[in-house]
A and B are shown apart, each in its own frame.
Chain A
Amino acid sequence: MRLRVDNLAFGYRGFQVGSGVSLALSAGDVLCLLGPNGCGKTTLFKTILGLIERHGGRVEIDGEDTNAFTRQGLARLMAYVPQAHAPVFPYSVHDMVLMGRTAHRGLFAAPSRRDRASAEAALELLGIAQLSSRDYMHLSGGQRQLVLIARALAQEAPFVMLDEPTASLDFGNQMLVLERVRRLAREGKAIIMSTHDPDHAFACGTRVHAIKNGHTLAAGRIGETLTAAVLSQLYDIDVEVVRLTGGRQVCVPPPAPH
């Protein structure tokens, strides 16, 4: 399946944040959305998901405009992983993941045995099956993020959108989440991930889309697109991109003044 965003204009009611964004992805892609604070990343993200009405342009899945889908129909195709947050009520991890099955159930139905099995399978796949009966509220930030990714997996949607999944996680948990994102892509998901850290794009992205002031600054394959010039322009600081001996690239901020 193919998700195509064409000349999208986005923003809130009576206030346009950005326009002219086009992108496309299919199974196995990890598209990283990069951009400074306030560049419109989150708005773009929510507009693609259909959570905010678009101001113009098209979002289509296999040629069909997403506005033509019902909420339930769209949820079967696109899953959303919000930033890890504390819920108001102390749901168990199992119930939290089970909510990902909602789109597959009728309006009046409660989850079936099969839904419970696929929730457990999702936890298993992310390596957190042992958390199933724990209280989601009492997990660490990293564990919560993995639970929310598991919920998106249980949703069985071919497209998964992660909103800054590494924000507010410690270094170890950041790497863990990125590794799981890579694994999801290998297993055939198409992923859009917004991030503040260009190194995370190097670490798990296949493609990148850099946004500045609501417009596309650069887009394309990671290796060719995410250059020192682009990054410097994106964040308004001098950035060097260094290739490590293993072939991996990392970006290095300007040296501290003496």
Chain B
Amino acid sequence: MGQRQTLKDGFIPKMALLTAVVAAIALYALVSGPYPTPPGAVARAFLHYFGLSAGEAPGRLDTVLFSVRVPRLLAALMTGAALSAAGTVYQGLFRNPLVSPDILGVAAGSGLGAALGIFMSLPVVAIEGLAFAGGLATVALVYMVATLVRGHERVLVLVLAGVVIGALAGACLSLIKILADPYDQLPAITFWLLGSFASIRPADIWSAAPAVAVGLVPLVLLRWRMNVMTLGDEEAAALGVDPRRLRLVFVCAATLMTAAVVSIAGVIGWVGLVIPHIARLAVGPNFNRLLPAAMLSGAGFMLIVDMLARGLATTEIPLGVITAFLGAPIFIWLLASRARAWG
């Protein structure tokens, strides 16, 4: 049955096509930009970088590629994939297709941490560290509050605690914005809150990638149980899983992934909300397939968004602005076409 179904609904061909499209966009992103980089020269630079060809390094090109474009490309792929994976998990966990990765306040907490770092004129590494810690701490606080409240409706209490703590973090953020230097710090905070890959350094990739990978492991291992979790606590328990423990694992994993990419790229909305839907339309709700499809689509989507961000105008447009302009119409279209199925 499984084999037949895989062929019938074309999961493997769909994934192959998607991979090819994302790879093509990635190649295009590598060779396009203000500094001219002919594909041949890029290929030679790559061969040289991996020690596959002898001779002189093509100086300037090398810098453009490996200090700017490749880190930026990797950051976009990783951010898109991580946010989409987290969105997929949260939508399943909270049994609500309108949920995004910041439902439990991870974005608000990260934003507050980063703003604090910028306000105190800390170095970039410290700002990123504070953003990461702020995101994790906020979700931990939300989880603790929800556990202490102990209502019948655990999931509802958790979401409401997220709303409350998120609003609190938002208030603190507003206070910092008012106190911040309006010529120097405020624009930095605002830009950070809308997301950008403009200042991505190779070191950022190395600092965020391990956390994303660690978060991904339980999602892959527990992929089947995630399906059972979407039936709600009682049914999941009756089917033999421990919903409370599993939820904690999934929330930790998704939060870790989100906080890691938010700490290097800033707050980028819409991706984690819209991409899981599109992936679900393409491959169905089974998490075994949905997770890879969502991650791949998210990576491709983020690449396109970043190319628009650096190519549309002479200055960089914040990523969050572009994802909103792309995401809102897509979402309205999804609402119109799928509203019945969400009943």
A residues touching B (Cβ–Cβ < 8 Å)?
A: 12-13, 46, 49-51, 71-76, 78-80, 82, 86-92, 94-95, 99-100, 102-103, 105, 107-111, 113, 116-117, 120, 132-133, 137, 155
Contacts and interface: CB of A to CB of B under 8 A. Distances in A.
Interface of B: 1-2, 5, 8, 92, 95-97, 150, 152, 221-225, 227-228, 230-231, 234-235, 237-242, 280, 284-286, 288, 341-343
A132 B8 CA distance: 14
Given A75-B238, A95-B286, A100-B239, A89 B230 contact: yes
A17 to B, nearest CB: 13
Contacts of B286: 91-92, 95
A12 B152 contact: yes
A111 B224 contact: yes
A88 B95 contact: yes
Contacts of A91: 227, 284-286
Closest 8 CB pairs of A and B: A75-B240, A103-B240, A80-B238, A89-B285, A72-B240, A108-B221, A110-B224, A88-B95
Contact of A88 (B221, B234, B342): B342
Contacts of B341: 90, 137
Given A51-B234, A82-B238, A88-B230, 17 more contacts: A12-B152, A46-B234, A49-B238, A71-B241, A75-B238, A76-B240, A78-B238, A80-B238, A82-B235, A88-B96, A89-B280, A91-B227, A95-B227, A99-B227, A102-B224, A107-B221, A132-B1
A87 B288 contact: no
B240 A71 contact: yes
B222 A107 contact: yes
Task: Point out which of B5, B96, B150, B280 has the most chain A C-beta atoms below 10 A from its C-beta.
Answer: B5
Contacts, number: 93
A105 B238 contact: no
B1 A110 contact: no
A80 B235 contact: yes
Contact of A71 (B223, B237, B288): B237
A116 B288 CA distance: 15
Contacts of B96: 88
B51 to A, nearest CB: 38
A95 B239 CA distance: 14
A110 B288 contact: yes
Contacts of B288: 110
A82 B234 contact: yes
Contacts of B234: 46, 51, 80, 82
A16 to B, nearest CB: 16
Contacts of B225: 102, 107
A99 B224 CA distance: 8
A111 B237 CA distance: 18
Nearest to A120: B1
A100 B224 CA distance: 12
Contacts of A75: 238-240
A111 B221 CA distance: 13
A72 B241 contact: yes
Contacts of A80: 234-235, 238-239
A76 B2 CA distance: 24
A105 to B, nearest CB: 7
Nearest to A88: B95
Contacts of A50: 237
